[in-house]
Amino acid sequence: MTPTCDLYDHFLDTAGVLPPELQHFGGRRAFMGPAVTVKTHEVNSRVRELAHSPGEGRVMVIDGGGSLRRALMGDMIAAAASENGWAGAIIIGAVRDIDMLAQTDLGIMALGRTPRKCLRSGEGEVGLVLEIEGVRVAPGDMIVADADGALVIPKDLPLPG
């Protein structure tokens, strides 16, 4: 996998840089795959459904509006996502079960952590074009994450190498 710094140098501002506040929580520190987008607020129903579906090396990009009040992913959803072949998740929100997430073979980046579980009221939308701090994320865009951060490469741009 090409490091994010090298990819940014190649694409420059054509590559979207996701919020630098994102922290690694999963067992994989570097991951990449096509984006599957989710928009939700303190409800993880759609995230849970995706985690239990074939991941095929994709990355969930979950726009939780930045809320740190309720976790959008915990150990059980992360384990299901790993078992179903997801490469990772970028969460603009919070996670929980931190020690277990670190042992899960899944890339997980989130803004923060909380012990409070989310609501499960069935809300949320999948497959939308998201805008996260000025960065456009469309379904199928390539997400690349490592220790330096996370990038969005538009799907119509081939990766170098």
Instruction: Write down the mean pLDDT value for the chain.
Output: 96
Q: Angle CA(151)–CA(153)–CA(96) in degrees, nearest 5?
A: 40
Average the pLDDT over 143-161 and give the result. Answer: 95
Longest Cα–Cα distance of the chain, Å, equals 44
Tokens 């277990």 locate to 100
Residue 117: pLDDT band by 50, 70, 90 thresholds? very high
Mean local confidence (pLDDT), 89-109: 98
Hey, what domains does the chain have and what are their CATH numbers? 4-12+22-153 (3.50.30.40)
pLDDT at 121: 81
| Residues 118, 45 contacting (CB under 8 angstroms) | no
Looking at the predicted structure, is the pLDDT value of residue 40 above 90?
A: yes
What is the 3-class SS of 83-142, one letter each residue?
Answer: HCCCCEEEEEEEECCHHHHCCCCCEEEEEEECCCECECCCCCEECCCEEECCEEECCCCE
Q: Note the pLDDT tens digit of each residue in 130-150.
A: 999 999 999 999 999 999 999
Q: Which of 57, 65, 107, 129 is nearest to 86 (CA)?
A: 57
The pTM of this model reads: 0.96
